[in-house]
Amino acid sequence: MRRVTQLVAAVSAAAALAVTATACGESSTESAGNKNKKGVGLAFDVGGRDDHSFNEAAARGTDRAEKKLGTNTKEMTAGNNETEATREQRLTSLAEAGYNPVIGVGFNYGKSINKVAKDFPDTTFGVVDSGSTQKNVSGMTFAEHEASYLVGVAAAKKTKNKKVAFIGGVNNALIQKFEAGYVKGVKDTDPKIKIETDYLYKESDKGFNDPARAKSMAKGMLSRGNDVIYSAAGQSGAGSIEEVSKVKGAWAIGVDSDQYRQKGLEKYRDAIMTSAVKNVDVAVFELIKSVQDGKPLTGNQTFSLKEDGVSVATSGGHIDDVKDDIDKAAKDIVDGKVKVPSKP
Amino acid sequence: MSRLGEKFTKEKVLLALAAPLLALVAAFLLSSVVIAATGKDPLHAFVVMIDFGSKSDSQVWIINKAIPYYLSAAAVAIGFRMNLFNIGVDGQYRVAAFFAAVVGGALSLPGVLQIPVIILTAMAVGAVWAGIAGVLKTTRGVSEVITTIMLNSIAGSLIGYFLSEDRLAVKDGNLFHTPNLPASGHFFTIPTDPKPVYGTVLIAVVIGLAYWFVLGRTRFGFDLRAVGRSEPAAAASGVSVRRMVVTSMLLSGAVAGLVGMPTLLNESFNYGTDFPAGVGFTGIAIALLGRNHPLGMAFSALLWGFLERTGIQLEFEEYAQEIVGVMQGVIVLSVVIAYEIVRRYGLRIQQRRVGAELAAEARTGEKAEVGA
């Protein structure tokens, strides 16, 4: 009995000590001095700056700001399978050090950016692919389904086997927009075409940086006779593009950046028909400029086909022969004649 | 004889201290070499880590981060103690957190009921998920290593299937998550400045105590460890090995089910993107590092939290982002190797001493014979 009481006493003492111990010492916020204007804080999603796709689109925005506005950029990158606490800390580090605006690239930052923004009311925050719930946050979302519809039209026009495929990185609401638009674009152009759709992962962010898995999935799709593959999977997309380039007559469709122009994908560019481009760079640049001008953008902004927020890449000239069809489809969407669904 | 016992304990203490010390020094040196190889100053890195990691907000962050890690390690350690390699904690915790979030989001009971219902759901689901592997092992002889890792991937698909708008989730912007828990499902927090410590830290403490008591102080714990040491010996002394396998898998799974609770009840209040894969595997590393000891695992969980906290700061200071991952790997390897070295060294001195004692005994015996 005595041992038990001793134990209880020891544990409660230790617990009390632990609680008081946590409250002592200065916090990192207090000791971080130097709140001068340091430039832009950019937090990438998994895959990092050189993913040739989504993150790189954002990086082009800050690169342009460096050239045109003379701002500095501090870049940090998310790791696989990280938690909300880690994302919050990354954003806090940037804001605390005086970077303004602080931009999170990717829906993963949706929650954390709105939370951290509360602690730094004088800093402007931006998040790509997610909404804003705070006064000092700019939520930049895109009409991915519209651009996907247009590349769907191109795919339907260019396929010889009448079989096309789609690879999504992660089966979430965002990537489903790409699938929905693409499928509708193909079906509206030629209802007889068979479409195979699949996702790399059901719900793990790993889908955005697992090129090997995309490669093997593309291999399977090609072997089943698909000759156009559209991959919406961030860095993973490079894997499927590589695989497609090995098959003569097959086309890859890129995503987010104009992937034909990506240095890292130069070897495979002859297989890249087009890309569904998300002009993240424009959105990022505009946000930085607005902060520089002292009139920071906030609230939710949607970038659709209408305001050139999304577009279809024509580099390489591979879709010159079907350009009229794409232009017509684009006009129909802008005019509201065609409604593109955002979920499959 | 008492003198010998005294000497023995002093030596034991020295040996027990030698292993972690050796591991620490080795890990420190190896990490320095790696940092230096990336062309950066290793000493400055350690200064940054200690300085930033000891800040008050860092302390709170580290404790909160360590809670799920500790629970995960405890779940793994229960298996380890009886030679079961439950590498499915990852899947168990996620399935458990998902269904607990679904149940919690659908119910609206007063807090005294709501929270226990959520926690018990999580434990039950985790136990069932791990139990599948236990049953397969006892009835079909399938290795739990294979089944648990496969169940991880099935868990991911199962969650992915239900986590969509027309099934068990709601759409929020570009993401899906389960409906939010009502306010009665929020666990209390311990107010500290500037951010609070999660009240779920108590769950970790309770599990730590229960682990220590059940495994070290009960008949059941003894049976479990006996099976871990030698199945035939345990069976010969009347322990049902099959029952022990299933029971310990169920226990391990139930604790794994708790891993998601700090996040669910103190932070996210729904199941969306806050339950990453990998926490179960971190638990394996922490259990190894903590030598399956309840306090050892607590220290390692905190160490892990410290490394992750300071890792981001290192990236901020232009060190490579991967440095912390390398450090974690180096630490686990150093610890495992250091303990093995020290164990062998201890064994050797013991053998030598016993040899010397025997020789001395033989000599005195001879003398006595000569004297006679």
Question: What are the pLDDT digits (tens) for A204-234?
Answer: 888 998 999 999 999 999 999 999 999 999 9
> What is the C-alpha to C-alpha distance for residues B139 and B131, in angstroms, rounded to an integer?
12
Whether B37 shows a pLDDT value over 90: the answer reads yes
pLDDT given for residue B6 in this prediction: 54
Confidence of residue B98 (pLDDT cuts 50, 70, 90): very high
> Where do we find the tokens 């991911």?
B156
Average pLDDT, chain A: 90
Facing residue for B173 by CB, picked from A22, A77, A131: A131
Q: Taking 70 as the threshold, does the pLDDT of residue B66 lie above it?
A: yes
- Give tens-digit pLDDT for B256-303: 999 999 999 999 999 998 999 999 999 999 999 999 999 999 999 999
Question: Could you tell me which of A50, A53, A58 has the C-alpha nearest to residue A128?
Answer: A58
Model pLDDT, residue A33? 44
Does the structure show a pLDDT above 90 at A251?
A: yes
User: For chain A, what percent of residues have pLDDT higher than 70?
Assistant: 89
CB pairs under 8 A between A and B: 124
Distance from CA of A336 to the nearest CA of B (A): 23
pLDDT at A85 > cutoff 70: yes
Which of B273, B304, B308 should be substituted to probe chain A, the one whose Cβ sees the most A Cβ atoms within 10 Å? B273
Please check whether residue B190 lies inside any domain of the structure.
Answer: yes
Label residue B249 by pLDDT band (50, 70, 90).
very high
**ipTM of predicted assembly, 2 dp:** 0.85
The answer, for A242 touching chain B at a CB cutoff of 8 Å, is no
Q: Is B153 inside a domain boundary?
A: yes
Which range is least confidently modeled, A257-271, B36-50, B249-263, B355-369?
A: B355-369
Q: Provide the pLDDT for residue B270.
A: 95
Banded pLDDT at A80 (limits 50, 70, 90): confident
Q: What does the pLDDT read at residue B194?
A: 79
The CATH fold of domain A29-142: Rossmann fold (3.40.50)
- Find out whether B360 and B68 touch, Cβ atoms under 8 Å: no
Q: What is the structure's pLDDT at B368?
A: 64
pLDDT at A1 (0 to 100): 42
What letter represents residue B96's amino acid? A
If you measure CA to CA, which chain A residue comes closest to B280? Answer: A81
- Position B129 pLDDT exceeds 70: yes
Tally of structural domains, chain B: 1
| A130 lies within 8 A of chain B by CB | yes
Q: Tell me if B319 is assigned to some domain.
A: no
**Mean pLDDT over the full length of chain B:** 91
Helix extents (H) in chain B: 2-37, 42-53, 56-81, 89-106, 111-140, 144-162, 201-217, 219-229, 231-236, 241-258, 261-263, 279-289, 294-316, 323-371
The pLDDT value given to residue B322: 87
Mean pLDDT, residues A248-270 taken together:
94
Distance from CA of B56 to the nearest CA of A (A): 5
Instruction: Read off the pLDDT of each residue in B139-166 and give the average, rounded to a whole number.
Output: 93
Q: Report if residue B350 sits inside a domain.
A: no
**What pLDDT shows up at residue A26?**
67
From-to residues of CATH 3.40.50.2300 in chain A: 29-142, 144-278+314-334
Amino acid (1-letter code) at residue A298: T
> At residue A16, does pLDDT exceed 70?
no
Residue A132 in this model has a pLDDT that exceeds 90: yes
Whether B159 contacts chain A with CB within 8 A:
yes
Supply the pLDDT for residue A28. 67
Q: What percentage of residues in chain A have a pLDDT greater than 90?
A: 83
**How many Cβ atoms sit within 10 Å of the Cβ of residue B134?**
28
pLDDT of residue B8: 60
Distance (Å, rounded) from C-alpha A43 to C-alpha A92? 11
B194 CB neighbours in chain A (<8 A) are 27, 29
pLDDT at A30: 54
CATH architecture of A144-278+314-334: 3-Layer(aba) Sandwich (3.40)
| Mutation site, B174, B213, B269, interface A, largest A CB count within 10 A | B174
Task: Please state the rounded mean pLDDT for residues B179-200.
Answer: 92
DSSP state of B163: S
The strand pair at A163-170 and A137-142 is best described as unpaired
Q: Give counts: helices (H), strands (E), chain A.
A: 11, 12
- What span, in angstroms and rounded, lies between the C-alpha atoms of A185 and A300? 27
> Per-residue confidence at B155, pLDDT binned at 50, 70, 90?
very high
Quick one: average pLDDT of B67-88? Answer: 95
pLDDT, tens digit, 9 for 90 and up, residues A288-304: 999 999 999 999 999 99
**Assigned domain for B265 exists:** yes
Name which of A84-88, B17-21, B281-285 the model is least confident about.
B17-21
Q: What is the pLDDT of residue A12?
A: 53
In whole angstroms, give the CA distance from residue B178 to residue A234. Answer: 26
pLDDT at A2 over 70: no
In chain A, which residues have their Cβ closer than 8 Å to the Cβ of B157?
202
Q: How confident is the model at residue B164 (pLDDT cuts 50, 70, 90)?
A: confident
DSSP secondary structure string for all residues of B304-345 = HHHHHHHHHHHHHTT--TTHHHHHHHHHHHHHHHHHHHHHHH
Q: Is the pLDDT of residue B14 over 50?
A: yes
Q: Quote the domain boundaries for residue B167.
A: 68-295
